Amino acid sequence: MIRIILRQLTVLILTLFLLSLLAFSLAYLFPGDVVTNASGVLATDVHYPAVAHARAFDKNILSQYLAYMSHLFSYDWGVSLQDGVSVWQEFKLRFPATLELSLLAMALALLLGPPLGILAAINHNKIIDQVITLFSLSGYSIPVFWMAQLCILIFAVALGWVPIAGQVNPLFDIPLVSGSILVDIWLSEQPYRGIALLNALQHMLLPVIVLATVPLVLLMRLTRNACIEVLRLNFVKGAYARGLSTPEVLFKHVIPNAMQEVTLHISTAFSLLITNILIIELIFSWPGLGRWLVRSIYERDYPVIQGALLLLTSLILLVNITTTIIHAWRFPRVRRELNAT
């Protein structure tokens, strides 16, 4: 097990290194002045020579990379070309908002996806299965932006149940500390925190549900298929033959086996979710990383694009590695296979 963890960590570090190389070279690949692309400081700025020197643009490429890395770790990620705000300062407030939304959506997907898949599998080819399959198929095929619009029209405009923009009603006056609204409400010294929390949850409801849909149906389909596969195997028949009850067979034998397949795909589901969050943040005016990234792509705000890419890719990478490690830890067979290679 330790060997596997070590190996995964090596992979992580190697990939992060390659990622940093890519992010570093983006400054060269983008059109325009390299120093400006990397730091967001315009050539007409008085600080330009100092910044160019600090980032070692007067030296060779290796020292430039080292300077880039040291800037990265001292949280000097440059300033936005659009409005001159520090990229790191802005990320610090926006990343938790994105993380909050994506973790909640992922939790929802994990909470509902596999159980529904199992339910469909044990009712294979019956009504329940067909309803769930239909639902998963439509959830899979409706584009996220369309579904978001539809939800807004139905639940917010027609029914008036939920708000559609932002994290919380601004009249609550929650001081901005972490960027994650639930944490901020927790930290705020307000007499009516409960209502504020409720309000924030209402704001979250639609984006979380829409965001959760794609990973949810993915996990559901995977679980269903894996379960059906396992149910066909002889040992299940054997278990029944030995007189085990259906729940026992299901929870002791079928589900653990089926989950082996599904666990590995959690990271796929998560990266799908992160792709969708860009659109969702835009539609629901969520003040997160994704919305800023989309605008920066429009405005060709290179320091922001660079930083956001680095952050989002590292996040996906981390989730990926963690899933692999959990997968290996939970399923000894996989561990043996990994060790064998």
Tell me which residues touch other proteins (CB under 8 A).
83, 85, 90, 152, 156-157, 159-166, 169-173, 176, 192, 194-199, 201-202, 205, 285, 287, 291-292, 295
C-beta of 253: minimal distance to other proteins in Å?
A: 34
CB nearer other proteins, residue 51 or residue 208: 208
Nearer to other proteins (CB atom), residue 7 or residue 295: 295
Whether the Cβ atoms of residue 327 and residue 262 lie closer than 8 Å to each other: no
Please report, in angstroms and rounded to a whole number, the separation of the first and last CA atoms in the chain. 14
Q: Are 318 and 19 in contact (CB under 8 A)?
A: no
Tokens (6 digits) for 286: 């969520």
13 versus 176: smaller Cβ distance to other proteins = 176
CB of 35 to other proteins, least distance (A): 22
CA 167 to mean position of chain CA atoms? 18
- Report in angstroms how near the CB of residue 256 gets to other proteins at its nearest: 29
Q: Which is nearer to other proteins, 48 or 240 (CB)?
A: 48
Task: Considering the complex, state which of residue 1 and residue 165 has its C-beta at the smaller distance from other proteins.
Answer: 165
Q: What's the number of CA atoms in the CB half-sphere (13 Å) around residue 325?
A: 18
CA distances from 290 to 107, 189, 294 (A): 19, 29, 6
Query: Collapsing DSSP states into helix, strand and coil, what is residue 79?
Result: strand
Q: Each residue of 184-202: b (16+ CB within 10 Å) or e?
A: bbeebeeeeeeebbebbbe
Closest CA to 1 of 326, 341, 253: 326
Q: Is the CB of residue 87 less than 8 Å from the CB of residue 303?
A: yes
What minimum distance in Å lies between the beta carbon of 227 and other proteins?
30
Is the Cβ of residue 162 or residue 321 nearer to other proteins in the bound state? Answer: 162
Closest distance between other proteins and the C-beta of residue 161, in Å?
Answer: 4
Distance from C-alpha of 198 to C-alpha of 69, rounded to nearest angstrom: 42
In angstroms, what is the minimal distance from the CB of 160 to other proteins? 5
Considering beta carbons, is residue 32 or 84 the nearer one to other proteins?
Answer: 84
Find the shortest distance in angstroms from Cβ 164 to other proteins: 5
